[in-house]
Structure formats: C-alpha cells, structure tokens
Chain A
C-alpha cells in the first residue's frame, strides 16, 4: 500500500495508461482504499467519454483540390513571376469548371518540380509553356508519362524583397511579352492586374502590402501615392465639389485621424486613379529600400459584394474624383470659349479626357509661365492640407509637378498637365477593411468561382452600368455640367484599387527540428 497520497496528476496519467506497470499496480492498490481517488478517476474517465461522443465532421469534397490550388499558387507564381491575367483567368475558369471530386486531385496537379530535382529543366519547360502563350483547350499540358499536368490556375502572386528573384529562365519567359515589366519582375502581375481593371467601375482591384510596421507602411504608401498625384481625399468636401477653407481644416482633422494607422487594426487605402499613376506608385515603392516589404495581388472584388458602409466609402471616393473631373471640365470649357483650340503637341494619354486636352494650350510644358498658375490653382483647390497632416513631405507633389519638377508623373503628359489631371482624377482615402472582403477570404472555392464569374460578367457590363449610374447621379443633382462630365468620364480608364496594409507575420517557429518546416 502506498504510504503517500497519489496525486491527481498521477491519477490522470493512470487514466491515460501512461504509468509504468509498477506505478499502475501501486495506484490500483491506492484506489482500493480511497473512494475519493476512485471518484476522481471516474470523473476523468467520464470527461474522456464526453470527447468520444463529440461530433466529427468531414471537410468538403473539394478540400484536396483547394489545397493543391493554393500550393500551386504559392509555389509556382512566387517563382515564376508574371503570367498574363487573361491566361490566369482562363486557367481558373477551366479549373473551376472541372467537376470537383476526389478525381480533381489528379487534375489540379501542381508543379513543385520547379524546385525539386531537375528543377532547371522543368523551369525551362514552364517558361516555354507560359511564354508560348498557347494553352491547350483544357489549359493543361501533359508533362510526363506519369500524367503530370499543368493547370494554369494561379491568381495570386507574391514576392518578397528579401527572398530574391524568381528563376531567370522563368522570369525571362514571363516578361518577354511586356517591355514595361522589365524594370522589376515583381511589378509584372501588378501591372497586369491594374491594367486589366482600368475602366471597370464595378470592380476593385485588391493588393496586399505586407510591411513590418503597418503605420510606417501607411505613411510610405500615402507618401508615394501623393508624389504620384494621388491625393488624399477629403471627407469634409461639400457636394458641389468646392473646397471651403473651414471645412478643409475640419477635413484635415478627420483624415489625419483616419490616417493614423497606429490605432487602427484593419486599415486599408482605397485609391481611384489612372492606371499609370498607380503602377508608378508601386514601382516606386518597390524601388525604395524597404526590407521585408512584400506585395501580393489578390483576386478583385465587386463593389456590389461589399457591405453598405464599405460600399459607401468606396463610392464616396469615386464620386469625389468625378466631381473634380466635372469641375475641371467645366473650367476647361470656359477657357475653350475664350481661346482657340490648338493642335496640341502633347501626346495625349489614351484615357485622358479629350475636352481637357483640347482646351489646355497654356498647359503645354513649353508654356511654363501659364502652366504653374493653372496647376497651382488645381493644387490649391484639390491637393488639400490633409496630405500634409499625414505626411508633410508629400505636400510638394502637385505643386512641384506643376512647377515643372523632375518628379516622375504620368509618363505621357506634361508635368503641368499632369498636375491638373492628376489632381482631378485621383483620390486616396483611408478606409476600414471591408468586412465583406474579410469574409471573402475565408469563402469556399465555390464562392470564389462565383465571384470570378460575376467579376467577369461585371467587367463586361461595367462601363455601361456605371454610365447609367453616373448619369443618374449627375441628373439628380440637376447640374448639367456635372452630368455631361460624368458622361464623358466614361471614356476614362480609371482604376479602383484597395490596398490592404498588413503586418508581416513572423515566420512560424519550426515545428520540427529535423524537418524544419
């Protein structure tokens, strides 16, 4: 018989069969003479019994396919750089059209072999496959006797500034189609995404910017965007689009508060701008020395899929751009009546408003005395003080460009014109991450498929639908100039981008010393 009481911990181990034979025998003897210990053992056993009756469920049938798709996205695109979005979309549609079943495991075969044995040969094969531009009708490419196939179903690409460049053979293949991508392979998918989304007003591109410090990331992003004339939106602006000084100050506070990412948990930046402005901003972000900064392209979201509050935020920013555009067009029309329209040496942007180009003889770069005045007017009225409130250094953006600064702006227009157009056509606003987006992140592949299908459908209908909405909004205001401007706005190719600023998670601790995963 045991001389000392047996602890409950020993009794717990006894229930689990984790005692040595000697210990076990000793506990059994103890239990014979201690009813309270027997009660404890009984309670522990009943707790175990409760677990046995716990409901078990099964993962959805498409789970293996989802796993392999995600693995493919992570492993291949991270290495392979850009694939044209059309190709990716086609791959997705085909992949999603395939019946999701256990057999799908064999269809969505991934390509880890790029990193495995024989990687160079396989990488070259991947590059040839992608660079060739022709996908078979099934978007699959038989690679080996084992039936390994390619399904180009990637939609997400991530690059880390510390993880180095993708394999050269793949990068070369991926980038050869687009000279713009040559400056930085990490930009390739971003450029694809931005350009594909331009002019589609019911669709919002989504980028994630992973940074070590979210507050600094927000400042960096706003700084760079402001340099590219994507100005901070001002919620205090009145409906007429006229910025009043008093309200501007109020707005400064509001935006400064909203732009204080230190206190916010899920902030994002919503940007409405010309595609080249956004691309230039991302190019500059990548060019700056930001160790650990990483950008990821996410599938686009539909405005209609967001909750009401998020939708309102996004629509407010869009309307702000449209109002400014309407005002710019109004001013231009007034000038046009006073001055004859010149031939215009500037090569207009493809997506620039034609009336604005026709009516800006004084904004040619050669005509500097007039240009700064026009642009300063624009800067004074549209580049609000709240920019300074968030990042003082970025106040130079519009005004300096207006004065002919060397700061890189929209490539195909003079700096003064850029200042005017940029101020009118771009906005950024700090927003809370739309809950619908968060929900979407955990949505099923089926939901994703539906979203993709809806996105495709909406992309096709976007301009028409937006034209009607904008026209209705403008008509409602009773302002014919606005209505006309909104209508002419349909000729623009603005892009809507939601940039989520995420803290870079620390790498997971090694779960296994031997495997070190």
Chain B
C-alpha cells in the first residue's frame, strides 16, 4: 500500500531521500499535463515540472502540511511557469504553431476510433489548445486548473493566490472567450 504524502515527506526529511522519488512518480504526470495546458508547450512543461520538483525538494522542510502537498507543489510550479512565460513572452499565433509548440499528437483512445475521426479529434484538440493559448494567462490558468485538475474554486484560489470570487470570474471569462473562439467547434454534434 502506498504511503500518504505526509509520511513520504517525513521520511524524506529524515534522510530517506528516495521517498521524494516516490512523490515525484506520484505527481509527475499530473503536474506535467496541467503545465502543458498552462504553458502550451511540452518542452516548457517538462522543464517547469522538473524545476518545481527540485525547488520543492529544496524547500521541503518549510512545508507544514496545512494544504495538500500537490497544491503546494503546484504553487511552486505556477510561479516558475508564470515567470518563464513572462520572460519568453511567446504567444502562439496559429494552429500550426500551437501544434508544433505543444508537441502533443492527440491520441484517440476510443476503441471504435476511425482514421477520419482521429483526424477530427486531432484538429479539435489543436483548435482548443490554440484558443487556450490566446487567453490571458490568469484566465487560462484558472480554467486549466478547473477543467484538467478538477480543483474547487477554493483550491484554485489558494494556488493562484486570489479570492474565490476572482477565480469564479476568471473561469467565466475564460469560458466566454473560448465560446467565442470555438463557436464552429461547439456547433458540431458532440460524439465524444
């Protein structure tokens, strides 16, 4: 049976550093995929996720356990991501650019998938990523945390450091903008 986060953290602080490896394995894909959504780039997501884990390791002794470890970790990652995003200041301008940048070839996981459907899925996902990339950073982050992490408004507020009301507003703004950008897509019959 896998140990709870707090036990792994305690083990790590007691010198059993392999315990941190367990935490990395536990959260690496979750963090990575969310960062892909926030940053729009698999390379950047990989780097930021790695940096976040390294920083978390360094600061692990400051973690008090008042919030979930993942929330704490994601806050660290978000700081890195935001500063990186601002530094690079890249805004994908085309679907192709997003496809190239994201580096993700969408996978149709359904057994009954057809080639043409796979293509449609790919285009749909690329369109979503492109529209997402055009959102303001704070709107995109809030929506990604809601949709991909399924976090509550309260949890998102803790992570991004703003009131719950602001989170609600940002998510709504993000959805409204996406609705505008993806009207054609949203009019299609939803067979997913």
Give me the interface of A with B, judged by CB distance under 8 Å: 8-9, 12-13, 16, 18, 43-44, 46-60, 63-64, 66-68, 70-71, 74-75, 102, 105-106, 109-113, 115-118, 122, 144, 146-148, 442, 505-506, 508-509, 511-512, 514-517
The distance in angstroms between the C-alpha atoms of A259 and B186, with both chains bound, is 53
**Does B50 lie within 8 Å of A63, measured CB to CB?**
yes
B59, B125, B129: the one contacting A515 at CB < 8 Å is B59
Asked if B125 and A148 sit within 8 Å, CB to CB, the answer is: no
**Contacting B18 at CB < 8 Å: which of A51, A56, A109?**
A109
B98 at the interface (CB under 8 A from A): no
Compute how far the CA of A244 lies from the CA of B68 in the bound complex, rounded to whole angstroms. 69
User: Which of these, B58, B72, B104, B179, contacts A43 with CB under 8 Å?
Assistant: B179
Q: A50-B185, A70-B54 are in contact. Are A511 and B176 (CB under 8 A)?
A: no
Check B141 for interface membership: any CB of A closer than 8 A. Answer: no
Q: Which of A12, A43, A105 contacts B25 (CB 8 A)?
A: A105
State whether the Cβ of B6 lies closer than 8 Å to any Cβ in chain A. Answer: no
Determine whether B94 belongs to the interface, using a CB cutoff of 8 Å to chain A. no
Interface size class, chain B: 35 or more
Q: In this complex, what residue of B is CB-closest to A109?
A: B17
Asked if B104 and A55 make an inter-chain contact with CB atoms under 8 angstroms apart, the answer reads yes
Q: Which residues of A contact B87 (CB under 8 A)?
A: 505
On whether A67 and B24 interact (CB within 8 A), knowing A54-B148, A517-B63, A517-B75, the answer reads yes
Q: Please name 8 further chain A to chain B contacts, defined as beta carbons within 8 Å, in addition to the given A13-B171, A111-B17, A508-B79, sorted by A numbering.
A: A50-B128, A54-B125, A54-B148, A64-B28, A68-B57, A70-B54, A514-B67, A515-B59
Give a binary string over B87-103; 1 marks a CB under 8 Å from any A CB, 0 the rest.
Answer: 10000000000000000
Contact indicator A12/B175 (Cβ below 8 Å): yes
**Inter-chain contact A43/B186, CB cutoff 8 Å:** yes
For B175, the chain A residues whose CB sits under 8 A away are 12, 43-44, 47
A105-B19 Cα distance, complex, nearest whole Å: 9
Task: Closest B residue to A64 by CB, please name it.
Answer: B24
Asked if B148 and A51 sit within 8 Å, CB to CB, the answer is yes
- Given contacts A105-B25, A517-B76, whether A112 and B57 have CB atoms under 8 Å apart is yes
**A58 and chain B: residue at smallest CB distance:** B29
Give, as a whole number of angstroms, the nearest-CB distance from A324 to chain B.
39
| Interchain nearest-CB distance for B13 vs A (Å) | 6
Kindly provide the distance from the CB of B96 to the nearest chain A CB, expressed in whole angstroms. Answer: 17
B153 neighbours in A (Cβ, 8 Å): 13, 16, 18
Task: For the complex formed, measure the closest distance between the CB of B48 and the CB atoms of chain A, giving whole angstroms.
Answer: 11
Interface positions of B (Cβ within 8 A of A): 12-18, 20-22, 24-25, 28-29, 32-33, 36-37, 42-43, 46-47, 49-51, 53-64, 66-67, 72, 75-76, 78-80, 83, 87, 104-107, 121, 124-125, 128-129, 146-148, 152-153, 159, 161, 168-169, 171-172, 175-176, 178-179, 182, 185-186, 190, 192
Compute how far the CA of A51 lies from the CA of B151 in the bound complex, rounded to whole angstroms. Answer: 14
Is A12 touching B75 in the complex (CB atoms < 8 A)? no
Contact B28 A59 (CB under 8 A): yes
Nearest residue, chain A, Cβ from B78: A511
- The verdict on A9 contacting B168 (CB below 8 Å), with A68-B21, A117-B14, A517-B76 known, is yes
> When A and B form their complex, what is the total count of cross-chain residue pairs whose Cβ atoms lie within 8 Å?
191
A70 touches B58 (CB 8 A): no
Q: Decide: A515 and B168 in contact? CB cutoff 8 A.
A: no
B167 to chain A, nearest CB (A): 9
Majority secondary structure of chain A interface residues (helix, strand, loop or mixed)? loop
Contacts of B21 in A (CB 8 A): 64, 67-68, 105-106
Residues from chain A with a CB closer than 8 A to the CB of B20 are 68, 71, 110
Q: Nearest-CB distance from A290 to chain B (Å)?
A: 23
- Asked whether, in the complex, the Cβ of B62 is within 8 Å of the Cβ of A515, the reply is yes
Q: Is the CB of B192 within 8 A of A55?
A: no
Question: Which A-chain residue is minimally distant from B59 (CB atoms)?
Answer: A517
Chain A residue with the shortest CB-CB distance to B154: A18
Residue in A8, A442, A511 whose CB lies within 8 Å of B172? A8
Which residues does chain B contribute within 8 Å of A106, judged by CB atoms?
18, 21
A516–B14 Cα distance when bound, in Å, is: 20
Interchain CA distance A148-B18 in the complex, whole Å: 8
With a cutoff of 8 Å between Cβ atoms, the chain B residues found around residue A44 in the complex are 175, 179
Q: Which residues of A contact B161 (CB under 8 A)?
A: 511
A47 and B178 in contact (CB under 8 A), knowing A12-B171, A512-B67? Answer: yes
Neighbour of B58 across the interface among A12, A60, A75, CB < 8 A = A75
Q: Which of A112, A442, A511 contacts B17 (CB 8 A)?
A: A112
A516→B124 contact, CB < 8 A: no
Known A68-B20, A112-B57: A511·B76 in contact at CB below 8 Å: yes
Q: Is A18 a contact of B168 with CB atoms below 8 Å?
A: yes
B33, B47, B58, B179: the one contacting A442 at CB < 8 Å is: B47
Say yes or no: B62 contacts A55, CB within 8 Å: no
Q: Quick check: A53 and B121 within 8 Å, CB to CB?
A: yes
Q: Which residues of A contact B42 (CB under 8 A)?
A: 57
Least CB distance, B158 to chain A, in whole angstroms? 8
A residues less than 8 Å from B147 (CB atoms)? 47-48, 51-52
Q: Is the CB of B75 within 8 A of A512?
A: yes
Residues in A whose Cβ lies below 8 Å from that of B36? 57
